[in-house]
Amino acid sequence: MADHNNAHNSHGGERHEHGSLKSYIIGYIISIVLTIIPLVVVMNHMMERTGTIIVIMVTATLQFLVQLIFFMHVRDGEQPRWNAITLVFGILILLTIVVGSIWIMGNNAIGMKM
Residues near another protein, by CB under 8 A: 3-4, 7, 10-11, 14, 18-21, 24, 27-28, 31-32, 35, 38-39, 42-43, 45, 49, 52-53, 56-57, 59-60, 63-64, 67-68, 71-72, 77-78, 82-83, 86-87, 89-91, 93-94, 97-98, 100-102, 105
Q: Which is nearer to another protein, 12 or 87 (CB)?
A: 87
Q: Are 55 and 41 in contact (CB under 8 A)?
A: yes
Shortest Cβ 79–another protein spacing (Å): 12
First to last CA, the chain: 77
CA distance 113 to 49: 23
Residues 6 or more apart from 52 whose CB is under 8 A from it? 38, 41, 42, 46
Q: Which is nearer to another protein, 50 or 114 (CB)?
A: 50
